[in-house]
Amino acid sequence: MDKLEFDLHQGWSRGLRLVFENDERSQAFNLKLALHVEQVHGDEIHFLSDADMKAPSPLAKADGIFVQGDSFKSSKRPILIKTADCMPVFLIDRESQALAALHVGWRGLAKGIHTKLFKQGQMDPKTTWAWVGPSLSGDNFEVREDMWSQFSEGNNEKYFARTPDPTLRQFHAWKLLEDELSALGVGLVYNVEENTLSNAEYFSHRRSLKEGVERKGNNYSWCQFF
C-alpha cells in the first residue's frame, strides 16, 4: 500500500482528493507547492487569505488551516498536514464550502482544536464530514499521568484504559475524538483506522524510539482539487 486515496464526488467538493501517505513513499508530491504551517502542537488555526495562496510555506505557526472551498478550489495547491503519530483530521462542510486541515496531537486534542471551528461558528457540524488519517491510538498508545491529567476525561476508562502497570494507561485517542465530534452533531466521522505504530508502512516516532534508532520522517496527509 503506497497510499490511501479518496476522491469526493458530491456538490462543491467534486474533484477534491484526500491522500494519506508516508513521505518516503510519496512518488509525485511536491512539498514546495504545498500550503502548510509550522506545527507547534497547540490549538491555533490559521485562516488562509488570498495572499497565502501565492505565498511560500510555512505560512504561520499553527496546527490547523482553514479555508473557504471556492478560493482553495482555484488555487490548485494542496493543503498539507505532517504527522508522525498524531492525528491528521480533515473537516469538510458540504454546505458552506469550508474546509479545514488539522494536526491533532494530544495537546491539541486536550485543548479542543478539533471542535474549535464548530464552537466559533465557522463550520456547521450538521453539514460537516470529518476524515481521520493514520495515527496512534489504543493498545499501542501508553501514556502517563502527566498526560492523562491534562484531559477532563482522564479518569474515564473508555478513553484511558488502566493497565497492569498503575503508572500507565492506554489512550484511545480515536474514540475520544470521534465521540466529541459526534456529540456536536458531525454528520460523518470516517476513520481510516491505520495505526502508525503497528503499521510499518507509515512513519511512527514512537516505533523509532522503541527500536532505539532515532529516525526522522513524516506522514503526509493532504488534500487538493484537480
Mind listing the pLDDT tens digit for each residue in 146-156? 999 999 999 99
Backbone angles phi, psi at 132, to 5 degrees: -115, 125
Half-sphere exposure of 131 (CA within 13 A, CB side): 21
For residue range 9-46, list pLDDT tens digits in order: 888 899 999 999 988 777 667 888 999 999 999 999 99
Question: How many whole angstroms separate alpha carbon 104 and alpha carbon 59?
Answer: 18
Are 75 and 100 in contact, with CB atoms under 8 Å apart? no
Res. 2: pLDDT tops 80: no
Q: What is the largest CA-CA distance in the chain?
A: 54
Are 69 and 13 in contact, with CB atoms under 8 Å apart? yes
- Length of the chain, in residues: 226
Are 184 and 191 in contact, with CB atoms under 8 Å apart? no
| pLDDT computed for residue 1 by the predictor | 56
| pLDDT computed for residue 27 by the predictor | 65
Are 84 and 136 in contact, with CB atoms under 8 Å apart? no
| pLDDT computed for residue 124 by the predictor | 97
Give me the number of domains the chain comprises: 1
Domain of residue 165 covers 3-225
Cell numbers that stand for 7 in this block? 476522491
Q: What is the CATH classification number for the domain harbouring 132?
A: 3.60.140.10
| Nearest CA among 226, 187, 18, 189 for reference residue 95 | 187
